[in-house]
């Protein structure tokens, strides 16, 4: 039986999704935070939506042995807090006991050392697809820690699995509004003709978080904001915004277009890294009016830690569509507000015939795509202020997801887990895409590693990041959009 479905039809006609075929989901590292906070709530949501087969089963594997019941209680706790904590969920949404029982009864736990899992699966003959049955492996980030390790990991798993069996996951691609970037661009006729260097002045991508390093120091100290967020999440947003129209929504057509964007990013030499990339680390400050410690005072963080919790950069894409259009990217922890936004700023009207009006500067046209938390889009433009003289003011047209659609809280993983089950890899990374992302950031990692004089800018927790990042834009007369 062919388990693939036509994504275009499924998405466009809004017919109810089909139940996924029977399968066993093996989670390696099941004792981790991710499983509890995101993956299990996603499975629970799929169970609630009746998208899981009666024959669905989970095998949870972790290094630390835990009795099955204690493990189930631990996961149930995660789902309860997901149900009540999700920003967009009504606080009263009840925990669906039946859906949880469905999932819990399909969960087995074994303890195992984490290692060359894929190789061992292969050696055990568990990845052979025969008699029409699929064998797929989902691999979450981090996929490598630099270009060399990502290449090595790809080579290692590709010795055992074929590319279509590998689902390299980036949970940002499961977010509704991230998928909506493609719909906005390619299902509407008005944007694409303007989506190029003739009409766009610059693009800003901001992924700001209020959370800090907190209890993740062991992971974060060795990782930093650049590795943690940029080659994966931020570059997914960049590729979706900058890619050319794919021939279809088939996985490879879309992934090829995305890959071409990253391949075209202008490679940074040392001088360009120094000039176009800013790294920062948060000092003490206030988040939601509550005092929070500096990164260096978080548990298990070295008092002289040089790990960046913020990174901003200016990139160029060397192709016909984008030549000369700067892309400004920034991401940071302990920023003033949690927001993920992509802003496309269009060029000014070519002739300022309103020179003698009481405004000095016309409001720039900005199309802002709000990815989270208040999903939607807005368009900013100039309008005449009512009155006898010509006076211009900036106005904004807003589309808010929650006003139009009755959205249920999701983690982003629901779509991805379901798509893996039905064999649709469009929202997963191909080997070349992962490597292209690392290729762009590798010169930055190298310079930071080799040149200890590159400044680490300390910014106040609860601020919009270091001032040095403002200079990236000021020097060409531009500015970051406020994180509001
Ligand atoms: C993870 C990073 O991949 O993404 C975290 O490791 C980050 O550091 C998280 O907080 C952000 O994801 P979301 O869905 O909360 O925006």
Q: Assign residue 195 the CATH number of its domain.
A: 3.30.360.10
* pLDDT tens-digit map of 337-352: 999 999 999 998 877 6
Within this chain, do residues 116 and 187 fall inside the same structural domain, yes or no? no
What the block records as the tokens of 57 is 């089963």
| Band of pLDDT at residue 444, cut at 50, 70 and 90 | very high
| Band of pLDDT at residue 354, cut at 50, 70 and 90 | low
Distance from the alpha carbon of residue 365 to the mean position of ligand 1, in angstroms: 30
pLDDT of residue 358: 56
Burial status of residue 114 (CB atoms within 10 A of its CB: 0-12, 13-18, 19 or more): exposed
Orientation angle between helical segments 431-450 and 251-264, nearest 10 degrees: 20
Which of 44-48, 400-404, 466-470 is most confident? 466-470
- Tell me what the mean pLDDT of segment 77-106 comes to: 70
- Tell me what the mean pLDDT of segment 57-64 comes to: 83
Q: Nearest C-alpha to atom 6 of ligand 1 is from which residue?
A: 228
Within this chain, do residues 376 and 462 fall inside the same structural domain, yes or no? yes
pLDDT of residue 476: 94
Name the more confident of 307 and 84. Answer: 307
pLDDT of residue 84: 60
What the block records as the tokens of 199 is 């009409």
423: left (phi > 0), else alpha (psi -120 to 50), else beta?
left
**Of 217, 213, 261, the residue nearest 236 (C-alpha):** 261
| Band of pLDDT at residue 425, cut at 50, 70 and 90 | very high
Within this chain, do residues 122 and 188 fall inside the same structural domain, yes or no? no
Percent of the chain whose predicted confidence (pLDDT) is above 90: 60
Domain assignment present for 156: no
Name the more confident of 459 and 413. Answer: 459
Average pLDDT in the chain: 88
Within this chain, do residues 196 and 304 fall inside the same structural domain, yes or no? yes
Domain end, chosen from 133, 162, 189, is at 133
Name the more confident of 144 and 67. Answer: 144
| Band of pLDDT at residue 15, cut at 50, 70 and 90 | low
Could you tell me if the CB of 209 is within 6 A of ligand 1? Answer: yes
**Of 473, 470, 466, 452, the residue nearest 281 (C-alpha):** 466
pLDDT of residue 89: 43
What the block records as the tokens of 217 is 């120091």
Question: In whole angstroms, what is the distance from residue 131 CA to residue 334 CA?
Answer: 51
Burial status of residue 197 (CB atoms within 10 A of its CB: 0-12, 13-18, 19 or more): middle
What the block records as the tokens of 203 is 């693009």
Determine the atom of ligand 1 nearest the C-alpha atom of 220.
8
Question: In whole angstroms, what is the distance from residue 364 CA to residue 198 CA?
Answer: 15
Distance from the alpha carbon of residue 99 to the mean position of ligand 1, in angstroms: 26
Question: In whole angstroms, what is the distance from residue 121 CA to residue 126 CA?
Answer: 5
Domain assignment present for 67: yes
Within this chain, do residues 227 and 87 fall inside the same structural domain, yes or no? no
Within this chain, do residues 343 and 459 fall inside the same structural domain, yes or no? yes
Name the more confident of 192 and 71. Answer: 192
Domain assignment present for 207: yes
Is the pLDDT confidence value at 309 over 90?
Answer: yes
* pLDDT tens-digit map of 164-188: 999 999 999 998 889 899 999 999 9
Question: In whole angstroms, what is the distance from residue 110 CA to residue 88 CA?
Answer: 35
pLDDT of residue 120: 85
Q: Mean pLDDT check: name the lowest of 188-192, 213-217, 240-244, 408-412.
A: 408-412
Is the pLDDT confidence value at 415 over 50?
Answer: yes
- Tell me what the mean pLDDT of segment 456-460 comes to: 98
Question: In whole angstroms, what is the distance from residue 295 CA to residue 283 CA?
Answer: 6
Determine the atom of ligand 1 nearest the C-alpha atom of 209.
10
In Å, what is the CA distance from 157 to each residue of 60, 143, 405?
21, 12, 40
Within this chain, do residues 190 and 306 fall inside the same structural domain, yes or no? yes
At which residue do the structure tokens 């003289």 appear? 389
Domain assignment present for 484: no
Domain assignment present for 296: yes
Domain assignment present for 161: no
Is the pLDDT confidence value at 102 over 60?
Answer: yes
Within this chain, do residues 407 and 278 fall inside the same structural domain, yes or no? yes
* pLDDT tens-digit map of 16-36: 789 999 898 988 888 888 888
Within this chain, do residues 121 and 179 fall inside the same structural domain, yes or no? no
| Band of pLDDT at residue 2, cut at 50, 70 and 90 | very low
**Of 234, 445, 463, the residue nearest 333 (C-alpha):** 463
Within this chain, do residues 252 and 112 fall inside the same structural domain, yes or no? no
Domain assignment present for 470: yes
Range of the domain at 405: 173-421+431-474
Domain assignment present for 6: no
* pLDDT tens-digit map of 215-264: 788 889 999 999 999 999 999 999 999 999 999 999 999 999 999 999 99
Cis peptide before 223 (omega within 30 of 0): no
Is the pLDDT confidence value at 87 over 60?
Answer: no
pLDDT of residue 110: 36
Question: In whole angstroms, what is the distance from residue 459 CA to residue 283 CA?
Answer: 6
Residue 470 Cα to chain centre, angstroms: 23
- Tell me what the mean pLDDT of segment 65-81 comes to: 79
Q: Nearest C-alpha to atom 4 of ligand 1 is from which residue?
A: 229
Q: Nearest C-alpha to atom 5 of ligand 1 is from which residue?
A: 228
Identify the active-site residue in 171, 233, 259, 266: 233
| Band of pLDDT at residue 362, cut at 50, 70 and 90 | confident
Domain end, chosen from 108, 133, 158, is at 133
Cis peptide before 69 (omega within 30 of 0): no
Question: In whole angstroms, what is the distance from residue 185 CA to residue 258 CA?
Answer: 14
What is the count of structural domains for the chain?
Answer: 2
Could you tell me if the CB of 170 is within 6 A of ligand 1? Answer: no
Could you tell me if the CB of 140 is within 6 A of ligand 1? Answer: no
Strand pairing partners for 367? 344, 379
Domain of 102, CATH number, reads 3.40.50.720
Q: Nearest C-alpha to atom 15 of ligand 1 is from which residue?
A: 209
* pLDDT tens-digit map of 113-158: 333 688 888 998 999 998 889 999 988 888 889 999 999 999 989 9
| Band of pLDDT at residue 104, cut at 50, 70 and 90 | confident
- Tell me what the mean pLDDT of segment 98-110 comes to: 73
Is the pLDDT confidence value at 8 over 70?
Answer: no
Domain end, chosen from 81, 101, 133, is at 133
At which residue do the structure tokens 């993983």 appear? 413
Within this chain, do residues 231 and 369 fall inside the same structural domain, yes or no? yes
Determine the atom of ligand 1 nearest the C-alpha atom of 216.
8
Determine the atom of ligand 1 nearest the C-alpha atom of 232.
3
Could you tell me if the CB of 228 is within 6 A of ligand 1? Answer: yes
3-state secondary structure string, the chain? CCCCCCHHHHHHHCCCCCCCCCCEEEEECCCCHHHHHHHHHHHHHHHHCCCCCCCCEEEEEECCCCCHHHHHHHHHHHHHHHHHHCCCCCCCCCCCHHHHHHHHCCEEEEECCCCCHHHHHHHCCCCCCCCCCCCCEEECCCCCCCHHHHHHHHHHHHCCCCHHHEEECCHHHHCHHHHHHHHHHHCCCCCHHHCCCCCEEEEEEEEECCCCCHHHHHHHCCCHHHHHHHHHHHHHHHHHHHCCCCCCCCHHHHHHHHHHHHHHECCCCHHHHHHHEEEEEEEEEEECCEEECCHHHCCCCCCCCCCCCEEEEEECECCCCCCCCCEEEEEECCECCCEEEEEEEECCCCCCCCCCCCCCCCCCCEEEEEEECCCEEEEEEEEECCCCCCCEEEEEEEEEHHHHCCCCCCCCHHHHHHHHHHCCCCCCECHHHHHHHHHHHHHHHHHHHHCCCCCCEEEEECECCCHHHHHHHHCCCCCCCCCC
- C-beta of residue 370 within 8 angstroms of C-beta of residue 177: yes
Q: Tell me whether residue 259 is one of the annotated catalytic residues.
A: no
Within this chain, do residues 87 and 179 fall inside the same structural domain, yes or no? no
Distance from the alpha carbon of residue 347 to the mean position of ligand 1, in angstroms: 33
């Amino acid at each position: 039986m062919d388990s693939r479905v036509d994504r275009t039809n499924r998405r466009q006609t809004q017919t109810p999704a089909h139940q996924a075929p029977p399968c066993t989901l093996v989670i390696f590292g099941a004792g981790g935070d991710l499983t509890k906070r995101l993956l299990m709530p996603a499975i629970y949501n799929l169970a609630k939506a009746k998208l899981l087969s009666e024959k669905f089963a989970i095998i949870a594997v972790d290094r630390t042995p835990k009795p099955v019941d204690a493990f189930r209680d631990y996961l149930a706790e995660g789902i309860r807090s997901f149900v009540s904590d999700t920003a967009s969920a009504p606080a009263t949404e009840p925990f669906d006991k039946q859906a949880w029982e469905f999932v819990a009864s399909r969960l087995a736990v074994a303890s195992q050392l984490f290692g060359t899992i894929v190789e061992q699966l292969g050696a055990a003959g568990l990845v052979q697809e025969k008699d029409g049955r699929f064998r797929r492996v989902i691999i979450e980030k981090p996929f490598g820690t630099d270009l060399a390790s990502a290449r090595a990991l790809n080579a290692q798993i590709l010795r055992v699995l074929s590319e279509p069996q590998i689902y390299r996951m980036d949970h940002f691609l499961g977010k509704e509004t991230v998928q909506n970037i493609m719909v906005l661009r390619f299902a509407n006729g008005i944007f694409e003709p303007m989506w190029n260097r003739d009409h766009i002045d610059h693009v800003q991508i901001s992924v700001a978080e209020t959370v800090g390093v907190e209890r993740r120091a062991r992971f974060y100290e060795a990782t930093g904001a650049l590795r943690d967020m940029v080659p994966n999440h931020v570059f997914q947003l960049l590729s979706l915004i900058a890619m050319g129209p794919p021939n279809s929504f088939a996985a490879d057509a879309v992934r090829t277009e995305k890959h071409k964007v990253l391949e075209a990013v202008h490679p940074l030499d040392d001088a360009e890294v120094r000039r176009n990339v800013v790294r920062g680390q948060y000092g003490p400050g206030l988040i939601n009016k509550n005092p929070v410690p500096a990164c260096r005072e978080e548990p298990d963080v070295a008092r002289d830690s040089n790990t960046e919790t913020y990174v901003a950069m200016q990139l160029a894409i060397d192709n016909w569509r984008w030549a000369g259009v700067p892309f400004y990217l920034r991401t940071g922890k302990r920023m003033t507000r949690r927001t993920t936004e992509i802003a496309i700023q269009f060029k000014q009207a070519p002739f300022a015939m309103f020179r003698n009006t009481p405004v000095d500067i016309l409001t720039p046209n900005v199309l802002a795509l709000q990815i989270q938390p208040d999903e939607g889009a807005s368009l900013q433009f100039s309008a005449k202020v009512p009155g006898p003289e010509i006076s211009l003011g900036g106005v904004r047209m807003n589309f808010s997801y929650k006003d139009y659609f009755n959205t249920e809280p999701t983690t982003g993983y629901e779509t991805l887990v379901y798509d893996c089950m039905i064999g649709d890899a469009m929202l997963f990374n191909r080997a070349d895409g992962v490597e292209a992302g690392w290729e762009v950031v590798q010169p930055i990692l190298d310079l930071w590693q080799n040149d200890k004089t590159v400044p680490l800018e300390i910014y106040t927790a609860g601020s919009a990041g270091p001032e040095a990042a403002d200079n990236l834009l000021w020097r060409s007369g531009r500015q970051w959009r406020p994180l509001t």
